[in-house]
Structure 1
Amino acid sequence: MTSGIQAWLGRGSFFDFGGCRIFYRREGRGEPLLLVHGYPFNSYDWHKIWGDLVSRRDVIAPDMLGMGFSDKPPRHRYSVFGHADMHEALLRELGIGEFDVLAHDLGVTVVQEMLARRMEGQALPRLRSVVFLNGGLFHEVYRPRLVQKLLCSPAGRVLGPITPDAAVRAALKEMFGPDTQLTRAEADELVAVLKHNGGKRVNHLVGRFVLDRKRHRDRFARPLERGFVPMRLIDGNLDPNSGAHLARRYRELVPDPDVVDLPTVGHWPQLEAPRATVGPALEFFDRQAS
């Protein structure tokens, strides 16, 4: 691992979730802010905006089961619902009763499930407001890449563990804007996170969350369509999965949509344009608090 990843791991903690060790970082002071990362990496996705966030908020950033520095059981049935359970358990473990959320990619669907549970009146820590980054908020306009489709298919059992590092880097290149590409060193860091503790063995299993999105589309979309909590979408428009076309659908279905478009950015706004991402996110949260 690089020194940056080692430092990130060294500053974190672990908690037990159903007999599995879950890694998380917590730092800062102020109102609680939960960061929900995407697939297939981990909380290190937030490292470029971490300093800005922790200067203003009490930030909690876990790694989901099967990713990053958390355990990766090979026979586990990974699902959006299980990921939501883990985040809720961590918040209860830390004694947090109310919180805001910044979510990306898979993380947006996890938060949609948490919102659906709150709509049903389940006793949870109270989710107050959300900033969504790029992710499949509405399944009908989500466009997974070929490699993701293959990993979700029966072939994923074979292809997942043997996916070459070069193929991961190529997939990343597709997802970033032409002017906001990762350096080779940055891409290698993410590949190292993916491979940590045998991550490629379970990557195809974790990636099946897209099937949950399809099966439970209406459940996940309902809180957004009803404007259940204050929400903002910060969208990298050049993302082939969930770019400008997703922002258009969001504007169609969400009442009084609050959208910040990033025209030259791809799928990872927090890595590609950290200043243009963290500024609107913190402004939104500050406005809700006031």
Structure 2
Amino acid sequence: MPLAEIPLRAWRKRGQAFVFRGRTIRYWVAGQGEPLLLIHGFPTASWDWHYLWQPLAQRNLVIACDMLGFGDSAKPVDHDYCLLEQADLQQALLDYLRVEQPVHVLAHDYGDSVAQELLARHHEGRFQMASCVFLNGGLFPETHRPALVQKLLLSPLGWMIGRAFGRTALSNSFSQIFGPNTRPSESALDDFWSLINCNDGTRILHKLIAYIPQRRRLRERWVDAMQRGEVPLRVIDGEGDPISGAHMVERYHQLVPHADTVLLANIGHYPQIEAPVLVLKHYLAFRERIGQTAPRVAYS
């Protein structure tokens, strides 16, 4: 049975705001129970989670924000965007909401990197992580296959590419990374574009893309954190994703002991949009299993 969507207009009305280092950040909270932090990807926003929002809020305190430079949050032009700062932002939001329990994390794409940093901070005693599930993302720089537009944004002419990036370019990009039978509707593309374009977001796309070289610099720190086995981990991955699909999961099995992974056939880079029922099923099964397992070690 399909999950009910939350129209973008309704989603935006439910949002709240807090100030992080002088910048306005939009965030959403719903439900009650163990805290569950949802971390979105590039170049979209927390609305990516709208299919899963209500089902997850039935049993969790669900928290999400549009990170700095994304969605309806501030998008300063004169700013150097950094994954470490985005991790700081997630912690600041949790502090603002007075969340003191260990936090479950569900992340996607760019958000995977933020979650990896939070996992590393957990091992340093600077964050309390109860579990983490990664959707499609560049967990390992050596397996990340950036899309053409990402390569262009990384080039010296990236600022021009960003300014020229439009709704048609977004549609073309998404048609390449979504599954062949699960591509977004024209209406959904309009909504995705609205989130990218608001607050003159195309001015900073070339700055946001700096996360790709940042991932390379932080690789050893993050892989070490995943290999420790102290926090339950799972990967739920659309295998047809040309950026971080089955090839990334293969590498995950090579590097992460007791790797717990789920591959979704014929699904691309956005499984929470393309196959939300399956993502929900496999996420809840993971949570049920780790709730019954002690000590907290993930097993496949």
User: Which residue matches 2:34?
Assistant: 31
Shift in Å, 1:154: 1.6
What are the Cα deviations for residues 72-105 of structure 1, in whole angstroms up to 9, with x where unaligned? 0001110110100000111111111221000000
> Which letter does structure 2 place at the counterpart of 1:27?
A
User: Which residue matches 1:63?
Assistant: 66
For the Cα contact (< 8 Å) 1:134–1:267, is it kept in 2? yes
> Which letter does structure 2 place at the counterpart of 1:62?
C
Shift in Å, 1:227: 2.1
Tell me which of 183, 197, 200 is aligned to 1:198.
Answer: 200
Shift in Å, 1:34: 0.2
Q: Distance in 1 between matches of 2:140 and 2:221?
A: 11
2:83 matched to 1:73? no
Tell me which of 232, 235, 238 is aligned to 1:236.
Answer: 238
Q: TM-score, normalising length from structure 1?
A: 0.96
Secondary structure at the counterpart of residue 49 of structure 1 = helix
User: Which residue matches 1:248?
Assistant: 250
Q: Distance in 1 between matches of 2:105 and 2:237?
A: 16
Secondary structure at the counterpart of residue 194 of structure 1 = helix
Q: TM-score, normalising length from structure 2?
A: 0.93
For the Cα contact (< 8 Å) 1:108–1:133, is it kept in 2? yes
Where does 1:1-290 land on structure 2 (aligned, <5 Å)? 4-97=7-100, 98-122=102-126, 124=127, 126-290=128-292
Q: Which runs of 5+ in 2 are unaligned?
A: 1-5, 293-300
Identity %: 44
**How many residues in Structure 1 have an aligned counterpart in Structure 2?**
286
Q: Distance in 1 between matches of 2:72 and 2:288?
A: 31
Shift in Å, 1:186: 1.1
For the Cα contact (< 8 Å) 1:80–1:110, is it kept in 2? yes
What are the Cα deviations for residues 217-249 of structure 1, in whole angstroms up to 9, with x where unaligned? 111211112223100100100000000000100
> Which letter does structure 1 place at the counterpart of 2:153?
L
Q: Which runs of 5+ in 1 are unaligned?
A: none
For the Cα contact (< 8 Å) 2:159–2:205, is it kept in 1? no
Shift in Å, 1:140: 0.7
- Extract structure 1 runs of 4+ deviating beyond 3 A: none
| RMSD of Structure 2 on Structure 1 (CA) | 1.2
What are the Cα deviations for residues 2-61 of structure 1, in whole angstroms up to 9, with x where unaligned? x92221111011111000011110001111100000000100000111121111111001
Secondary structure at the counterpart of residue 47 of structure 1 = helix
What are the Cα deviations for residues 160-214 of structure 1, in whole angstroms up to 9, with x where unaligned? 0121321111001101010111111111111111101111111221121011011
Q: Distance in 2 between matches of 1:153 and 1:216?
A: 21
> Which letter does structure 2 place at the counterpart of 1:110?
V
